[in-house]
Chains A and B, each alone.
Chain A
Amino acid sequence: MMNNNEVLLKVDHLCQYFRMGHKDLKAVDDVSFEVKKGEVFGLVGESGCGKTTTGRSIIKLYDITSGNIYFKGQRVGAGTRSYKDAIKTAQKKAAADIKTLRRELKENPDKETEIKAKITQINDDLNKIVEENRALIRAANADNRNVDKMHADGLLQSLETEYKEKFAQAEGDEAATKALKKEYASRCRIAKKSKLITQIQMIFQDPIASLDPRMTVRDIIAEGLIINGIRDKEYINQKVYEILEVVGLVREHADRYPHEFSGGQRQRIGIARAIIMQPEMIIADEPISALDVSIQAQVINLLNDLRERLGLTILFIAHDLSVVKYFSDRIGVMYFGKMVELATSEELFKNPLHPYTKSLLSAIPLPDPHYEKQRKRITYNPIAEHDYSVNLPSLREVAPGHFVYCNDEEEEKYKQQLQ
């Protein structure tokens, strides 16, 4: 599954800002990455670096500020701030240019035609930029609005073609046609309600807080199905029992309440709730941080099993690096809203390049007393490490598949280090 190169999720210059007074809190600032089908992509960083916000933005729990999110090639989320900013800066620049030109005109009245032509040129350019960006904004808004409808339309179309044949086959047989009609109607209803984004599901960090204490396990797990328009109780029950067994619980648990379960079992319920929607992708937001050691292993093994059995793609958010290393194919390291390094997990642990990654790796405690006593922790001080006053940094590929957030100078240095 690893050599599959189909990109399932593409996050493109994602920014998520929160309002704080008159300032913006840049929780996620210009983050880009791709998740391929069937892989586990780990996202690590200290608390408050924006990894959870990234996950939540992807499933549209927030309206993203700018950037695009593509799922299966379809744009599911788009922000407009960058276009608006582009318009604003263009307007400002044009205004400043025109001002200087007018001043010039006052000084040399003889060059009037020349300068006026320049001014019209600038205005035209500005209009063009504004128009372009407005079109982009419109497109983004339209995509945000219509993505579910487009998905539903697609499904309806495929249903129509499928049932056309069936109706043609069953022509003449009245009973069969009637049954088919009924089936077609119900499937159409479900298709109309389905959303593309439900194919990404999330497992939350705290299994106690994320389960409604007044709902039985059956209600919790079946809620998604019911919202999606399924009314057949038998079918729902069947599904719930199946899923319970998949996650290692038993039928009898369906009628109990969350408080009757241990931490590990509760997290299993959270996982069951996510996978009953038959998602293609799961965003696991620190699914094991709140659990005991022995239970952690159970949940990791369960996720691993499910991944193999259901062909899931997982975006795994955590701060425990040894678990992420064990579980993920590729890892992205975040620091204060920025992606600072992205590589395959072996590569990242073998050749960490960014100083923050190094400091993060040096902080992992290992069950080895002699090694631990010699371990030197590296501290990361962004002001001392980097000089970005002249040359601005960006995420660059220093080796195939290994991206680092750096500027030209550092890129050279890192490339040398790799050789």
Chain B
Amino acid sequence: MMEKKLEVKNLVVSFRTQAGKVQAVRDISFNLYKGETLAIVGESGSGKSVTSKAVIGISAANAIIESGEILYDGQDLVRIPEEEMHKLRGDKIAMIFQDPLSALDPIMRIGRQITEAMLLKNKANRKEGRAAFNKMLAQLSEKMTAALTEKKTIGSVEDAEKATAYLEKVSEYIRTFDGFNIKAISLENGYNNAKNAAEELISIIDDFLFLAEKKQKVDGVITLKSIVRKLQAMQDKYFVGKYTDDLNAYLVRINEAISEEKAKTTLGDTIKGLVGRKKAVAEVSQTIIQLCGEIKNTVTEMLAQPAYNFFRIGYYVYKNPEADLSQMPADEANEMAYKFLMEDYMNDFMALEKDAVAYAAAQALDNKKAAVAALEEAVAFFKKGGFAASDAATACKNVSKAVLDAINPLDVVKDNVAYTFSGALDREVEKYFFYLKNNPKEEARFARQTAKREALLAKGKKVDWKVVPKFIVEPEKQIESIVSVLDRVITKFKADIENADSVDVDKRCVELIDYLKEKASQVVYKLTKRIAKEKAIKLMEEVGIPEPRIRYNQYPFEFSGGMRQRIVIAIALSANPDILICDEPTTALDVTIQAQILELINKLKKERDLSIIFITHDLGVVANMADRIAVMYAGKIVEYGTADDIFYDPRHPYTWALLSSMPDLDTNEKLDAIPGTPPNMIYPPVGDAFAERNKYAMQIDFEMQPPMFEVSPTHYAATWLLHPNAEKVEIPPIITERIKRMNERGGEK
């Protein structure tokens, strides 16, 4: 079985409008697996876009998510607070919108639009990295002390002596860890800055060579001067290493080239340049181009060198401030520093850490057991109903505290369920009291307005307004969602308790140190605008935009529709998301461009192993894209299956209608248009929503909603026609013939 990426369970979304509550999505469930494309197909107003917007958390202001869950990475996207959602949106789950023009800012250059998010995110990450590092180290220190104290009091005599000896040293160990990390960071920062300068240098040379090749206006001297600046910025001893002499030689050569070039420019050229009318553009001399080529090669070589492991070297330098490892090859230096680090410090530190981790895990396990008890108590309390506000608040507080305590602070992988629990619970409880207070008001208003309207009607007056239907959520229903929040944590904790024995302490220790290392280096990973530009240009190449270096500086209006859509895709991909939601990405484009964009999305999906939710009303588009298809009508999924199931063996009358209302290249007979319009979702039909427009509708379709019948393990359809007692009906001939033709055309199943 493939890994589930996203799970939507019983989602119900409504809109509050003046005319009443529009039930846009009514109880839908689906799964999205890793690396697959799920297509959601339906008419406009069937709720497909509403579903996708709920997933990415940008529902309209008047939307109410009444119940259901959207699970991603253990968190329920419906219930997590906005701050948590903010971390996922765009970063993990990205979206491509229908109209590329309105998704782009018209007065911002394309390049800036692509790099904007990268730069902002980099800034935020650096801040966050420092805080996370400090917090984790403090926790570790605390747990170490606690573990040693425990050992001292209850351990054997020998252990206790050892523990006492260590206990005095804990703070020193932690201080050393912090200290050599700071050293490592400062070394790495210098290295990174130099590396950035090198990358920027390559980018400058690329730009220059590109323009020179195109015979564009370009000033060799200015370029050379900026190259000099970058070469000077590259002077970090760890980065330059054995290339020091090469770089100095280049600097000399560049200076010569500059003076040579300056000698060439006459006074007249300079004046012209100053006046600004005609800029003096002499042919870029071949020597400069050659020089640039050489510099580029050398710098590329430098960039390809094996990197130093600054975590190890940092410790070495911390202990021996006089030492200089930069002349040693990276591998050797790493090896040597590693040995020194392990012998001198790490082995002891690891032992301490192991104790701490084991201690913390045991403590968390106990707390979890207590939390489960507290949670179960809370479930009983809420299920009983009729609780007072203050009691509920106390219960919430207690249970939240229990759950928060149960979180192991030394866990590297965040337990999202527990972290988001408190906020979710509070919100649900708040809602309960809101409904409790609001329901009678709503009833009263409804009764009052109905009475008024009837009175007016009785007088024989013409009434042109309608009574807004009442918006009531039963308290019992709300209690159910409170309990579901609690239940999820209980299941999670119970699973944790069961798996407690299989926890590998050594692995955890390594993970913890890796985590600290990662956070420390996050602080020094600096993304400059130049590097962001290079990244953006790579992305633009990836999505198939020709001449990205020119395109980078253009505005959206200078792009054609297909190119604009490519830019939108590039922006969506810039954060490397897991899930991509495509909301009718090709509806505004014509056939050839549509084919190109679909191919692009398919290519990217394979390359990046994306999971895609593809929303469209055109079944033809989907055939090439989708692994599985969900057909939606009036807020419900009416048929759900693999692409082969839907196209070669459709079962629901609505799918038939969709298929037969579109002509293909061999259709000659009259099209079966779907008569009528979709139902008004303020008053959704009692039975099957499609019954009114369905010529195969039976009496029961108007009375009861059909359940999902299983056709095959991958194929489900919600129609009474699949009930064993139903009459057998013929699929419309237009479809059977088409399927026959398709089979003949050579698709073997």
A168 part of interface (Cβ distance < 8 Å)? no
Contacts A46-B591, A47-B589, A370-B644 aside, 13 further interface pairs with beta carbons under 8 A come to A264-B677, A293-B617, A293-B661, A294-B657, A294-B673, A298-B675, A301-B673, A326-B663, A362-B595, A366-B665, A368-B647, A368-B742, A377-B595
Determine how close the nearest CB of chain B comes to the CB of A52; give it in whole angstroms.
Answer: 12
Across the interface, B663 reaches (CB within 8 A) one of A48, A263, A294, A322, namely A322
**A46 CB contacts on chain B under 8 angstroms:** 590-593
Contact A368 B623 (CB under 8 A): yes
A7 part of interface (Cβ distance < 8 Å)? no
Bound-state CA distance A367–B620 (Å) is 4
Contact A366 B591 (CB under 8 A): no
A226 part of interface (Cβ distance < 8 Å)? no
Determine how close the nearest CB of chain A comes to the CB of B737; give it in whole angstroms.
Answer: 13
Contact A365 B598 (CB under 8 A): yes
Determine how close the nearest CB of chain A comes to the CB of B161; give it in whole angstroms.
Answer: 72
Q: Which residue of A lies closest to B617 (CB)?
A: A293
* Residue from A301, A360, A369, A372 having most chain B Cβ neighbours under 10 A: A369
Contact B44 A367 (CB under 8 A): no
Contact A297 B665 (CB under 8 A): no
Contact A322 B619 (CB under 8 A): no
Determine how close the nearest CB of chain A comes to the CB of B741; give it in whole angstroms.
Answer: 9
Contact A366 B623 (CB under 8 A): yes
**B658 CB contacts on chain A under 8 angstroms:** 293-294
B91 part of interface (Cβ distance < 8 Å)? no
Contact A319 B665 (CB under 8 A): no
**A364 CB contacts on chain B under 8 angstroms:** 591, 620, 665
With A294-B674, A326-B667: A370-B749 Cβ-Cβ less than 8 Å:
yes
B386 part of interface (Cβ distance < 8 Å)? no
Contact A360 B591 (CB under 8 A): yes
Contact B661 A297 (CB under 8 A): yes
Bound-state CA distance A47–B644 (Å) is 32
Task: List A residues 272-321 near B (Cβ within 8 Å).
Answer: 292-294, 296-298, 300-301, 304, 319-321
* Residue from B592, B648, B674 having most chain A Cβ neighbours under 10 A: B592
Q: Could you name 30 residue pairs across A and B whose Cβ atoms are closer than 8 Å?
A: A46-B592, A47-B561, A47-B589, A48-B560, A293-B43, A293-B662, A301-B671, A319-B590, A319-B591, A321-B591, A322-B620, A322-B665, A325-B665, A326-B668, A327-B663, A363-B591, A363-B592, A363-B594, A365-B618, A365-B620, A365-B624, A366-B623, A366-B665, A367-B659, A368-B647, A369-B747, A370-B749, A374-B746, A375-B624, A377-B599
Q: Which residue of A lies closest to B667 (CB)?
A: A326
Bound-state CA distance A415–B738 (Å) is 33
Q: Which residue of A lies closest to B743 (CB)?
A: A370
**B426 CB contacts on chain A under 8 angstroms:** none
Contact A371 B746 (CB under 8 A): yes
Chain B interface residues (CB < 8 Å from chain A): 43-44, 560-561, 589-596, 598-599, 617-624, 626, 643-644, 647-648, 657-659, 661-665, 667-668, 670-675, 677, 738, 742, 745-749
Across the interface, B661 reaches (CB within 8 A) one of A296, A319, A320, A371, namely A296
A5 part of interface (Cβ distance < 8 Å)? no
A359 part of interface (Cβ distance < 8 Å)? yes
Q: Which residue of A lies closest to B629 (CB)?
A: A369
**A377 CB contacts on chain B under 8 angstroms:** 595-596, 599
Q: Total contacts A to B, CB within 8 angstroms?
A: 132
Contact B742 A365 (CB under 8 A): no
Bound-state CA distance A264–B43 (Å) is 12
Contact B623 A294 (CB under 8 A): no
Q: Which residue of A lies closest to B670 (CB)?
A: A301
Determine how close the nearest CB of chain A comes to the CB of B254; give it in whole angstroms.
Answer: 40
Bound-state CA distance A297–B663 (Å) is 8
Determine how close the nearest CB of chain A comes to the CB of B359; give it in whole angstroms.
Answer: 56
Task: List A residues 141-200 near B (Cβ within 8 Å).
Answer: none
Contact A323 B663 (CB under 8 A): yes
Bound-state CA distance A370–B746 (Å) is 8
Task: List A residues 39-95 near B (Cβ within 8 Å).
Answer: 46-48
Across the interface, B623 reaches (CB within 8 A) one of A320, A321, A367, namely A367
A405 part of interface (Cβ distance < 8 Å)? no
Bound-state CA distance A181–B284 (Å) is 88
Bound-state CA distance A308–B558 (Å) is 45
Bound-state CA distance A292–B618 (Å) is 9
Contact B745 A369 (CB under 8 A): no
Which 4 A-B pairs give the minimum distances between C-beta atoms?
A370-B747, A297-B661, A326-B663, A297-B673
Across the interface, B595 reaches (CB within 8 A) one of A323, A365, A369, namely A365
Across the interface, A297 reaches (CB within 8 A) one of B560, B619, B624, B674, namely B674
A214 part of interface (Cβ distance < 8 Å)? no
Determine how close the nearest CB of chain B comes to the CB of A264; give it in whole angstroms.
Answer: 8
Against B, the Cβ 8 Å flags (1 = close, 0 = not) of A359-397 are 110111111111111110100000000000000000000
**A262 CB contacts on chain B under 8 angstroms:** 677
**B657 CB contacts on chain A under 8 angstroms:** 294
**A298 CB contacts on chain B under 8 angstroms:** 673-675
Q: Which residue of A lies closest to B677 (CB)?
A: A262
Q: Which residue of B lies closest to A301 (CB)?
A: B673
Q: Which residue of B lies closest to A286 (CB)?
A: B590
**B626 CB contacts on chain A under 8 angstroms:** 369
Q: Which residue of A lies closest to B671 (CB)?
A: A297
A349 part of interface (Cβ distance < 8 Å)? yes
**A373 CB contacts on chain B under 8 angstroms:** 624
Contact B673 A369 (CB under 8 A): no
Q: Which residue of B lies closest to A380 (CB)?
A: B592
Contact A366 B673 (CB under 8 A): no
Determine how close the nearest CB of chain B comes to the CB of A346; give it in whole angstroms.
Answer: 10
Bound-state CA distance A48–B747 (Å) is 35
**B748 CB contacts on chain A under 8 angstroms:** 370
Determine how close the nearest CB of chain A comes to the CB of B39; give it in whole angstroms.
Answer: 11
**A47 CB contacts on chain B under 8 angstroms:** 561, 589-590, 593
Contact A322 B745 (CB under 8 A): no
With A292-B617, A370-B742, A373-B624: A297-B672 Cβ-Cβ less than 8 Å:
yes
* Residue from B598, B624, B659, B748 having most chain A Cβ neighbours under 10 A: B624
Bound-state CA distance A320–B561 (Å) is 17
Contact B647 A294 (CB under 8 A): no
Determine how close the nearest CB of chain A comes to the CB of B293; give it in whole angstroms.
Answer: 30
Q: Which residue of B lies closest to A264 (CB)?
A: B677
Across the interface, A349 reaches (CB within 8 A) one of B623, B665, B670, B747, namely B665
Across the interface, B624 reaches (CB within 8 A) one of A326, A362, A372, namely A372
Bound-state CA distance A264–B693 (Å) is 16
Bound-state CA distance A325–B671 (Å) is 13
Contact B595 A325 (CB under 8 A): no
Determine how close the nearest CB of chain A comes to the CB of B406; give it in whole angstroms.
Answer: 48
Across the interface, A367 reaches (CB within 8 A) one of B561, B593, B594, B647, namely B647
**B589 CB contacts on chain A under 8 angstroms:** 47
Determine how close the nearest CB of chain B comes to the CB of A10; give it in whole angstroms.
Answer: 28
Bound-state CA distance A371–B661 (Å) is 20
Determine how close the nearest CB of chain A comes to the CB of B747; give it in whole angstroms.
Answer: 3
Determine how close the nearest CB of chain B comes to the CB of A103; give it in whole angstroms.
Answer: 38
Determine how close the nearest CB of chain A comes to the CB of B555; give it in whole angstroms.
Answer: 18
* Residue from A263, A298, A360, A365 having most chain B Cβ neighbours under 10 A: A365
Bound-state CA distance A309–B622 (Å) is 36
Q: Which residue of A lies closest to B747 (CB)?
A: A370
Contact A366 B620 (CB under 8 A): yes
Determine how close the nearest CB of chain B comes to the CB of A203; give it in whole angstroms.
Answer: 18
**B623 CB contacts on chain A under 8 angstroms:** 365-369, 371-372
Bound-state CA distance A166–B139 (Å) is 109
**A372 CB contacts on chain B under 8 angstroms:** 623-624
Bound-state CA distance A300–B661 (Å) is 10
Q: Which residue of B lies closest to A290 (CB)?
A: B587
Task: List A residues 241-264 near B (Cβ within 8 Å).
Answer: 262-264
Bound-state CA distance A48–B667 (Å) is 28
* Residue from B594, B599, B663, B745 having most chain A Cβ neighbours under 10 A: B663
**B619 CB contacts on chain A under 8 angstroms:** 293, 367
**B675 CB contacts on chain A under 8 angstroms:** 298
Across the interface, B594 reaches (CB within 8 A) one of A365, A371, A375, namely A365
Q: Which residue of A lies closest to B659 (CB)?
A: A367
Bound-state CA distance A319–B618 (Å) is 14
